[in-house]
């Protein structure tokens, strides 16, 4: 991960941040406060970990991301690019999943993961790196809009400790966390490029990294950021050229990132995310009035989520100073320069409107997920205004206004949760005390001292918030050490179908000596290197999920056992035969008397001593099936012999004098193609799930080849080529324009032009 930080700082600390007239001291000041930002984020992490050592290893991080890193890293180390893992039926299409396969820093995260035994520690360190990148990104945005370094650092440290980002994106939803880190840096680079203080390549790189995390929300938010900056810069500079250059550079990044996004669009019709409808519901839609909670650390916002109508977590909290500081801005002076930072306001308004609904726009559900970017916009806007238009004139009136704003914070939070009145009063006292000290420092010791106090105050607030927060209801409480997991779990060979329900696990079951020694929920099996059919997936293959009533975490309904051994009408084979699984693991709590029943035909009950409390196991009588006949699951009227079987291509020799068909043990993901002696054949499906193909009569020892490529891969390659060519051209024009401007500036500064030969000494002259 240190390599990622080195690469990042090459772009983050672009000398173009400092104008040519800036002194060495100002550059040093910005570097120092940039270091303060990074150290502040580290200190914030330390405060959070003191309150809860598992805060950054919970929910989706433990059940989805961390084990996925291990599996993908193992595949990469073995020389396979894991865009598709065929045997992982539920979540094996990683060209669609949130895997970041085309994102170099994320690939590094995958590659290192198999070497890490304490996966909780590894996840925490990875998140720390991305949080530092996010904090520095917010710092850069503030500098780009003209804020002084101390105020910029205050915003940079405050953001990673803001409510939603701290309790959801950093704690659980790693993809959103990662994308936000890249997106805020793209925002800063966009402003610098539009204002001629930076080139297009940093913008291209950060936007590409944002768009290749394979997550829809940051892609849409990135478009909003670029559009807001473009409109804002058009108003500020009163010229369309900078905005047009910005839009062209962003378009190049979007073209280059097609490979990460086009397969998801072209495959959506077979997934859970294929519904493009817009609808509204109250779940995680946030009323605009909740903005009045943004500066009270004890806030318990009122909107519908997992805990009911009133949330016990400070989801809408941003920073203790954000709302009270509004009283110390000279608003008339700020209004005179509004064009310069209008882009921030445009983006803030757009995101604020989004937080209130609709509840779902196609695959974009739960509007509260955009709260982190609202926090960024408001932090940047307020810190830029304080830096450039902060005022203590009419101090008594401003103090009264600040007190009134804090009073409104209290009233709004008290209205949502009156039973927490003492907690809210303590929070009010803390905000007032810290605010009064910051004002005194600003007036008597300068803004840097006040900002240093503001940074320091964020740490105990974060500690108190995390310590008093309830455990998320979605926590799995997985073990932290992979070696301990492997030692406790049965050593299952071959391919396993598990039928279980996580909802039946009691809190006391969620430990290594309990369920996690026998059951693999979510992506748990990936830690163990075992081939389980299911996995944690937000995408899901809709037909297969319906076949076995399987949910996103691999949980199944009680009827799944009957369905798995049901005979498919066309082939006369059972579903487990068509899937070619070697073992069926049944959750004892879901099937309490199943061991007393006779095993299905061709199967036998196998005892695994020490695991009977949680699982009962069926295995095939005739041994492993998954390793026989390659991709072939069934054939009628066709003699088929497998000759090759791998991720991107499988082959068989087929003979069929009178014609017949072959059913393949593959999901019907878009992107498959099958040929017979090089001639393409139409693909069919069995049970809306399994690929099948008709073999024409008269076929003799022909080669049947099944291949898969992410759909749209040709267009993706063309897009990447066009994007790289376009950004190269934009960089060339930027360098020419920069050289021209320098040539114009040199004579004005009393220096000779580069092309003025009369001012140059002759070679060899004394």
Buried b (16+ CB within 10 A) or exposed e, 154-191: bbbbbbbbbbbbbbbbbbbbbbbbbbbbbbbbbbbbbb
User: Taking a C-beta distance cutoff of 8 angstroms, is the pair 431, 295 a contact?
Assistant: yes
Q: Would you say residue 20 has pLDDT above 50?
A: no
Establish if 290 belongs to a structural domain.
Answer: yes
State the pLDDT confidence band at 325, using cuts at 50, 70 and 90. Answer: very high
What's the mean pLDDT in 315-340? Answer: 95
Instruction: Determine the distance from the C-alpha atom of residue 451 to the mean position of all C-alpha atoms in its chain, rounded to a whole number.
Output: 30
State the pLDDT confidence band at 744, using cuts at 50, 70 and 90. Answer: confident
Establish if 526 belongs to a structural domain.
Answer: no
- What pLDDT score does 573 carry? 95
Q: Would you say residue 428 has pLDDT above 70?
A: yes
Strand 615-620 relative to strand 639-645: parallel, antiparallel, unpaired?
unpaired
State the pLDDT confidence band at 15, using cuts at 50, 70 and 90. Answer: very low
Could you tell me which residues come within 8 angstroms of residue 242 by beta carbon, excluding any fewer than 6 positions away? Answer: 193, 194, 195, 196, 233, 234
State the pLDDT confidence band at 737, using cuts at 50, 70 and 90. Answer: confident
Q: Would you say residue 402 has pLDDT above 80?
A: yes
What's the mean pLDDT in 338-342? Answer: 93
H or E stretch covering 422: helix 421-444
Establish if 198 belongs to a structural domain.
Answer: yes
What's the mean pLDDT in 6-20? Answer: 46
What's the mean pLDDT in 506-514? Answer: 93
Burial class (CB in 10 A: 0-12, 13-18, 19+), 224: middle
Establish if 586 belongs to a structural domain.
Answer: no
Q: Which of 468, 489, 504 is the last residue of a domain?
A: 468
For the segment 164-215, what is each residue's pLDDT rounded down to a tens digit?
999 999 999 999 999 999 999 999 999 999 999 999 999 999 999 999 999 9
User: Taking a C-beta distance cutoff of 8 angstroms, is the pair 534, 89 a contact?
Assistant: yes
> Three-state DSSP class for 177?
helix
- What pLDDT score does 548 carry? 94
Q: Which long-range contacts (CB under 8 A, 24 or more apart) does 313-317 make?
A: 313/163, 313/167, 313/469, 313/470, 314/163, 314/167, 314/465, 315/163, 315/164, 315/167, 315/168, 315/286, 315/368, 315/371, 316/163, 316/164, 316/286, 316/290, 316/291, 316/371, 317/162, 317/163, 317/293, 317/465
- What pLDDT score does 5 carry? 53
For the segment 595-627, what is each residue's pLDDT rounded down to a tens digit?
999 999 999 999 999 999 999 999 999 988 888
**Within 10 Å of residue 696's Cβ, how many Cβ atoms?**
13
Q: Longest Cα pair distance anywhere in the chain, in angstroms?
A: 104
H or E stretch covering 662: strand 660-667
DSSP 580: T
Q: Would you say residue 16 has pLDDT above 60?
A: no
Q: Which segments within 475-516 are labelled E, that is strand? A: 495-499
Establish if 595 belongs to a structural domain.
Answer: no
- What pLDDT score does 766 carry? 26
Dihedral angle sign, alpha carbons of residues 248, 249, 255, 257 = negative
Q: Which of 665, 685, 711 is the last residue of a domain?
A: 711
> Which stretches within 445-581 are classed as H helix?
447-468, 482-488, 524-528, 542-547, 560-564, 575-579
- What pLDDT score does 79 carry? 92
For the segment 483-496, what is each residue's pLDDT rounded down to a tens digit?
999 999 999 999 99
Q: How many domains does the chain have?
A: 2
Distance CA 82, CA 68 (A): 11
- What pLDDT score does 17 carry? 41
For the segment 430-480, what is each residue's pLDDT rounded down to a tens digit?
999 999 999 999 999 999 999 999 999 999 999 999 999 887 656 899 999
- What pLDDT score does 761 carry? 36
Q: Would you say residue 21 has pLDDT above 70?
A: no
Percentages (nearest 5) of helix, strand, coil residues in the chain: 55, 15, 35
- What pLDDT score does 508 carry? 93
For the segment 634-672, what is each residue's pLDDT rounded down to a tens digit?
999 999 999 988 878 899 999 999 999 999 999 999 999
Q: Would you say residue 680 has pLDDT above 90?
A: yes
What's the mean pLDDT in 227-244? Answer: 96
CATH number at residue 695: 2.60.40
State the pLDDT confidence band at 251, using cuts at 50, 70 and 90. Answer: very high
User: Taking a C-beta distance cutoff of 8 angstroms, is the pair 185, 376 a contact?
Assistant: no
Establish if 555 belongs to a structural domain.
Answer: no
- Residue 699 sits in which domain range? 632-711
Q: Would you say residue 360 has pLDDT above 90?
A: no
Structure tokens at 330: 């000279």
Pick the most confident of 22-36, 139-153, 381-395: 139-153
Q: What's the mean pLDDT when you consider all of the chain?
A: 91
Q: Would you say residue 308 has pLDDT above 50?
A: yes
User: Side-chain half-sphere of 81: how many Cα atoms within 13 Å?
Assistant: 11
For the segment 547-574, what is each residue's pLDDT rounded down to a tens digit?
999 999 999 999 999 999 999 999 999 9
Distance CA 579, CA 632 (A): 10
Q: Would you say residue 531 has pLDDT above 90?
A: yes
Establish if 750 belongs to a structural domain.
Answer: no
Distance CA 663, CA 676 (A): 15
What's the mean pLDDT in 289-307? Answer: 89
Question: What percent of the chain has a predicted confidence (pLDDT) above 70?
Answer: 93
Q: Which residue has the higher pLDDT, 738 or 10?
A: 738
Q: Which of 424, 448, 468 is the last residue of a domain?
A: 468
For the segment 261-285, what is each residue's pLDDT rounded down to a tens digit?
999 999 999 998 777 678 888 899 9
Distance CA 156, CA 181 (A): 11
Establish if 165 belongs to a structural domain.
Answer: yes
Strand 660-667 relative to strand 649-656: parallel, antiparallel, unpaired?
unpaired
State the pLDDT confidence band at 750, using cuts at 50, 70 and 90. Answer: low
For the segment 633-644, what is each residue's pLDDT rounded down to a tens digit?
999 999 999 998
Q: Would you say residue 3 has pLDDT above 70?
A: no
- What pLDDT score does 759 carry? 37
């Amino acid at each position: 991960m240190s390599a990622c930080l080195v690469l990042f700082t090459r772009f983050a600390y672009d000398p173009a941040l400092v104008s040519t007239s800036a002194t060495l001291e100002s550059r040093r000041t910005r570097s120092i406060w940039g270091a303060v930002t990074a150290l502040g984020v580290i200190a914030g992490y330390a405060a959070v970990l003191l309150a809860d050592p598992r805060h950054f290893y919970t929910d989706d991080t433990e059940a989805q991301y961390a084990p996925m890193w291990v599996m993908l890293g193992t595949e990469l180390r073995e020389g396979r690019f894991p865009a598709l893992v065929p045997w992982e039926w539920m979540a094996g299409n990683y060209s669609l999943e949130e895997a970041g396969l085309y994102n170099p820093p994320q690939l590094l995260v995958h590659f290192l993961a198999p070497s890490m035994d304490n996966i909780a520690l590894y996840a925490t360190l990875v998140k720390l790196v991305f949080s530092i990148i996010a904090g520095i990104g917010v710092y850069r945005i503030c500098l780009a809009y003209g804020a002084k370094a101390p105020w910029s650092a205050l915003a940079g440290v405050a953001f990673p400790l803001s409510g939603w980002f701290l309790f959801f994106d950093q704690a659980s939803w790693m993809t959103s966390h990662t994308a936000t880190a890249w997106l805020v840096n793209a925002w800063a680079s966009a402003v610098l490029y539009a204002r001629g203080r930076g080139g297009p390549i940093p913008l291209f790189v950060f936007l590409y990294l944002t768009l290749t995390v394979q997550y829809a929300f940051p892609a849409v938010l990135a478009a909003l950021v670029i559009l807001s900056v473009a409109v804002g810069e058009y108003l500020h500079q009163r010229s369309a050229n900078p905005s047009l250059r910005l839009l062209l550079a962003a378009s190049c990044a979007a073209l280059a990132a097609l490979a990460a996004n086009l397969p998801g669009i072209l495959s959506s019709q077979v997934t859970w995310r294929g519904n493009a409808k817009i609808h509204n519901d109250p779940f995680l839609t946030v009323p605009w009035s909740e903005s009045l909670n943004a500066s009270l650390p004890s806030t318990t916002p009122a909107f519908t989520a997992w805990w009911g109508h009133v949330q016990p977590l400070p989801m809408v909290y941003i920073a203790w100073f954000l709302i009270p500081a509004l009283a110390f801005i000279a608003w008339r002076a700020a209004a005179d320069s509004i064009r310069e930072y209008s882009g921030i306001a445009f983006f803030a308004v757009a995101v604020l409107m989004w937080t209130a609904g609709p509840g779902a726009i196609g695959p974009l559900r739960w509007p509260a997920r955009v709260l982190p970017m609202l926090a960024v916009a408001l932090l940047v806007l307020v810190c830029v205004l304080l830096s450039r238009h902060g005022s203590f004139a009419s101090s008594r009136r401003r103090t009264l206004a600040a007190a009134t704003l804090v009073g409104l914070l209290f009233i709004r939070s008290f209205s949502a949760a009156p039973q927490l009145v003492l907690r809210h009063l303590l929070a009010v006292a803390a905000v007032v005390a810290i605010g009064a000290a910051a004002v005194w420092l600003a007036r008597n010791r300068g803004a840097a001292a006040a900002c240093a106090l503001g940074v320091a105050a964020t740490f105990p607030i974060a500690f108190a918030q995390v310590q008093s927060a309830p455990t998320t209801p979605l926590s799995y409480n997985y073990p932290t050490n992979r070696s301990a997991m492997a030692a406790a779990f049965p050593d299952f060979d071959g391919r396993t179908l598990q039928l279980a329900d996580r909802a039946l696990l009691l809190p006391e079951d969620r430990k290594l000596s309990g369920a996690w020694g026998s059951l693999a929920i979510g992506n748990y099996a990936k830690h163990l290197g075992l081939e389980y059919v299911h996995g944690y997936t937000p995408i899901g293959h809709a037909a297969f999920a319906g076949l076995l009533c399987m949910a996103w975490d691999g949980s199944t309904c009680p009827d799944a056992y009957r369905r798995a051994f049901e005979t498919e009408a066309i082939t006369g084979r059972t579903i487990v035969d068509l899937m070619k699984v070697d073992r069926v693991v049944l959750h004892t709590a879901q099937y309490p008397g199943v061991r007393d029943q006779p095993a299905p035909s061709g199967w036998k009950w196998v005892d695994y001593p020490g695991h009977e409390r949680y699982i009962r196991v069926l295995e095939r009588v005739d041994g492993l099936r998954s390793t026989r006949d390659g991709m072939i699951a069934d054939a009628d009227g066709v003699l088929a012999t497998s000759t090759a079987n791998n991720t991107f291509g499988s082959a068989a020799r087929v003979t069929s004098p009178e014609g017949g068909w072959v059913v393949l043990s593959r999901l019907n993901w878009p992107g498959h193609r099958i040929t017979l002696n090089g001639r393409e054949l139409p693909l069919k499906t069995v049970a809306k799930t399994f690929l099948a193909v008709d073999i024409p009569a008269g076929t003799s020892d022909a080669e049947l080849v099944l291949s898969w490529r992410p759909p749209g891969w040709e267009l993706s390659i063309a897009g990447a080529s066009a994007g790289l060519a376009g950004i190269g051209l934009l960089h060339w024009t930027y360098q020419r324009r920069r050289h021209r401007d320098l040539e114009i500036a040199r004579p004005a500064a009393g220096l000779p032009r580069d092309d003025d030969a009369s001012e140059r000494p002759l070679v060899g002259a004394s």
